Structures are given as C-alpha cells and as structure tokens.
C-alpha cells in the first residue's frame, strides 16, 4: 500500500533533506507550500515541507517577478485552503489584471462571471431576508 506522503519523498535527497534545486522553482515551491498545509497528524514529511518552503519563501529576494512575489506574500499571510473562495477569486482577478502578460479577454470574462455570481447571491440573500421577515411577522 502506497501512502500519499510517499509521493513527496522524491523531493528529498539521500540525507533526508529537501533537494536544493526545489528553491530554484519558485512556483513549484509555492505549490509544495500549499500542499504542506493539507497534512494530517503524523504526516511528518509535509510538516518538514512546510518549514522548508516557509523558510525559503521568506528569504526570497532578487530578480523575481512582481506578480509571483505578490502570490508568495499572499500565501504566507494565510494558506489557500483557509481562504474564502469568493474573496480569493476577487483577489486573484485583481492580481492577474496587473500582469503584463494578462489575457484581457479572459480577464473580462472572469470579471463578468464574478459579478454575475455576486448579483445572483445578492438576490438570493434579499429573498431569504424577506422570507425571514415574513416568518417573524407571522409569529406576532
């Protein structure tokens, strides 16, 4: 039986340390950082990955893309899976809009989708509010 955390063993060297080449792949390191926050008790390799990636992300300096640096800072504030998805979508739309290589059609579609969902949620909330008010008034 293969344990899920065994998959991460390939990122370690013969001395059981994380391989240094991981630090060169900033996006990959960010993915490993996010994955490390999904550990269950006893998954030591993911706990070690969290320490390793946090240390390297906090020490990130030099010639790094501004957008990627924003993503690192954002991830260090609060892990992705702890965030509210709607607010995360809003943050990412804003961050993506600042990229030089942003696909403007995709960006506009994302904004439209976000606004349509927000509008639908707002209408549903108003409807529920009316229903609660009516139920409240019926009891008095």
Instruction: Say if 88 falls within a structural domain.
Output: no
33 belongs to a structural domain: yes
Q: Tell me the residue range of the domain where 27 lies.
A: 4-83
Q: Flag whether pLDDT at 2 surpasses 60.
A: no
What mean pLDDT is reported for the chain? 90
Say if residue 46's pLDDT is above 70: yes
Residue 134 domain-assigned? no
Q: Looking at residue 88, what is its pLDDT?
A: 93
Residue 129 lies in a domain: no
CB environment 76-108: b (16+ within 10 A), e (fewer): eeeebeeeeeeeebeeeeeeeeeeeeeeeeeee
- Tens digit of pLDDT for each residue in 90-131? 999 999 999 999 999 999 999 999 999 999 999 999 999 999
Residue 61 has pLDDT above 80, yes or no: no
Nearest to 59 by CA among 46, 72, 78: 72
Domain count, the chain: 1
- In a domain, residue 78? The reply is yes
CATH code assigned at 72: 1.50.10.130
């Amino acid at each position: 039986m293969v344990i899920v955390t065994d998959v991460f063993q390939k990122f370690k060297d013969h001395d059981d340390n994380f391989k240094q080449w991981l630090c060169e792949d900033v996006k990959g390191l960010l993915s490993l950082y996010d994955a490390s926050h999904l550990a269950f008790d006893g998954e030591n390799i993911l706990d070690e990955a969290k320490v390793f990636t946090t240390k390297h992300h906090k020490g990130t300096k030099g010639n790094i893309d501004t957008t990627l640096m924003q993503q690192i800072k954002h991830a260090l504030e609060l892990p992705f899976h702890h965030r509210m998805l709607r607010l995360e979508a809003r943050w990412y739309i804003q961050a993506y809009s600042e990229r030089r290589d942003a696909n403007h059609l995709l960006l506009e579609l994302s904004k439209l989708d976000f606004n349509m969902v927000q509008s639908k949620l707002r209408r549903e909330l108003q409807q529920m509010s009316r229903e609660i008010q009516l139920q409240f008034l019926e009891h008095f």
